Amino acid sequence: MPSLAEGFERADDLHAYLQRLLPAAHAGDAEAAWFVSRVYDYCAAHAADPAGYARDTEALARMGLAGSASMVAARERVAGRCRQFVPADGLGAGLVIVKRLEAAEAGSLAAEASLLAMGEPLEDDAGYRSALVERVRASADAEAFSALAPAMGLAASGDPAHAGQVAGTRQAELAWQLAACRLGMDCSAQGALMTAWCAHGGVCPPGANQDFEAALHAADPPQGGAETIKQLSDSLLGEGVLR
Q: How do residues 187-198 score in pLDDT, each as one tens digit?
A: 998 999 999 999
pLDDT of residue 241: 42
pTM: 0.92
Section 136-165 average pLDDT: 96
Are 153 and 130 a contacting pair, CB within 8 Å? no
pLDDT of residue 29: 98
Cα gap 227→233, rounded to integer Å: 10
Closest CA to 98 of 37, 148, 8, 46: 37
Mean pLDDT (the chain) is: 92
* Number of Cβ within a 10 Å radius of residue 159: 16
pLDDT of residue 220: 57
pLDDT for 182 beyond 90? yes
Cα gap 240→230, rounded to integer Å: 18
pLDDT for 240 beyond 50? no
Section 86-93 average pLDDT: 95
Are 185 and 193 a contacting pair, CB within 8 Å? yes
Section 158-172 average pLDDT: 94
pLDDT for 221 beyond 70? no
pLDDT of residue 65: 80
Q: What is the pLDDT of residues 95-131, one digit of tens each?
A: 999 999 999 999 999 999 999 999 999 999 999 999 9
pLDDT for 4 beyond 50? yes
pLDDT of residue 36: 98
Q: Is 92 exposed, middle or buried (0-12, 13-18, 19+ CB in 10 A)?
A: middle
